[in-house]
Chains A and B, each alone.
Chain A
């Protein structure tokens, strides 16, 4: 048996008969008009705790988290920028939070205005013709893009089976291809970490439906030949999809629509400052050129005579990916953020993000080489390879950073860099914070040379130390077992 006692979970704190939160001051009887065959017998097995216990329990848990409001969260490709608090106040307004999705369009004009306005703004930022905010996350945006491609080719009487992704792609790209019934073909990146035009030429043919490309790529590099890449793909009759996870480098500086992309997704929980919530919710709006617009999911928000309404009648639509209209509460936060920044603030955010990444790279490159060159966009990928000779791995560096009060960068990704450390500081960090983080990384490199055991046993300052992940994987214990 597992031997866990779970005394520190909410279940461990339960005492039979402790009942605090009441629903109604009138007595509620067991249902009389539902035959007993439909009814549950016996207890559910939920905990019985008081309100102060609940508060203390979850406050206690909250203190065991690292979070952006505590300190730097330099996860590459995750854009952990500061989450403005005004966004939360707007999302909590009862006019928005208290709106039911089945209400009449006339009663939801403000909400529709936010969706409509956000779609217009994202179209402007991407240089695309139309946007659907519906996808609930980036991966669902990818899925939508591939369903659009499927519908587009079907409409033209073509069947294409393959999706191309470079070896530096996010794992969601090939996984989304599979969900949409495509085969993934991974091609290797060139020596400079970018798409090698000859390699691309070698894999392109009339069976390819879509090239999925992250720009800037996961190494933080801009695809210098992006115009040629897109042209080659189009000449093969295929479509170009941009994974917009790294849009924080581009917004206000250049537009994927101008590069020639047919479609892309945004991550509102990255680029547009909405909080990550310990894993979600996010939002993954998809922007497309006009030739893909007829296939967008329904409902669409349309304007007629100054009023907005939800339009379902789109015969070529791929259907729906969400029960209702997607993660509306996230649109409110992103819309508020864009309102705060404005056109000039958007430009300043991306250029500052790039400045911060380059500055941080320059501070640590002496100990952590950057295989594909130091000049980067909003993030860079360094390697912990030189520390290997001291018996220290990138994982040890990551764990030691936790002792310094920082979160670790993304590690061991992309797969094209050994011992990878993928660092994205974002524009909301001050120079002092960047310097503190760089100093910590340099101090860790020094420790690797002088006392590597300190790194092997890190972290020591966190609520728990390194975990037995092997047993958790061999025999997972995923619930408090019922008594």
Chain B
């Protein structure tokens, strides 16, 4: 897996930017800590999201976590597969288990996030 163009948050979200569109998910580490994901609640397409604020929830059997927006912008797409197959988050967190796409408002917010090495060191790997 090539993490060169991916940035990370302290809350374990990852972001990949293509053009002005950011794809957002949670890391394999976060998915592993939560355990089997059973349900995700995502923002609606068109919703405005603000960096560091909650934009959804991720539920495992006995715990629930907020999904924080790593960057500000408006939601351009949500992963339609997750409603029926939340297990994709566990199986393929950096691929088919993505959560939402956001049209970036400020690229600097993305640039300020952790790179892969910094994230790995944060989780003690």
User: Could you tell me the dominant secondary structure of chain A's interface residues?
Assistant: helix
- Any A CB within 8 A of the CB of B123: no
Closest-CB distance, B57 to chain A (whole angstroms): 14
B: number of interface residues (CB 8 Å) = 8
Given the complex of chains A and B, what is the CA–CA distance between A473 and B37 in angstroms? 9
Chain A: interface size category: under 10
Residues of A within 8 A of B39 (CB): 473-474
Given the complex of chains A and B, what is the CA–CA distance between A474 and B61 in angstroms? 9
- Any B CB within 8 A of the CB of A33: no
Tell me the nearest residue of chain B to A476, going by C-beta.
Answer: B38
- Summed over the interface, the residue pairs from A and B with CB atoms below 8 Å come to a total of 14
Closest-CB distance, B71 to chain A (whole angstroms): 27
Chain B 44-71 residues near chain A, CB threshold 8 A: 59, 61-62
Given the complex of chains A and B, what is the CA–CA distance between A412 and B61 in angstroms? 14
Chain A 339-363 residues near chain B, CB threshold 8 A: none
Chain A 405-433 residues near chain B, CB threshold 8 A: 412
- Any A CB within 8 A of the CB of B13: no
Residues of A within 8 A of B38 (CB): 470, 473-474
Closest-CB distance, B68 to chain A (whole angstroms): 18
- Any A CB within 8 A of the CB of B25: no
- Any B CB within 8 A of the CB of A5: no
Chain A 457-483 residues near chain B, CB threshold 8 A: 469-470, 473-474
- Any A CB within 8 A of the CB of B97: no
Given the complex of chains A and B, what is the CA–CA distance between A473 and B62 in angstroms? 10
Residues of B within 8 A of A474 (CB): 38-39, 86-87
- Any A CB within 8 A of the CB of B36: yes
Residues of B within 8 A of A470 (CB): 36, 38, 61
Closest-CB distance, A310 to chain B (whole angstroms): 43
Name 10 interchain pairs, CB-CB below 8 A, sorted by A: A469-B61, A470-B36, A470-B38, A470-B61, A473-B38, A473-B39, A473-B59, A473-B61, A474-B39, A474-B87
What are the nearest 4 A-B pairs in CB distance? A473-B38, A470-B36, A474-B38, A469-B61
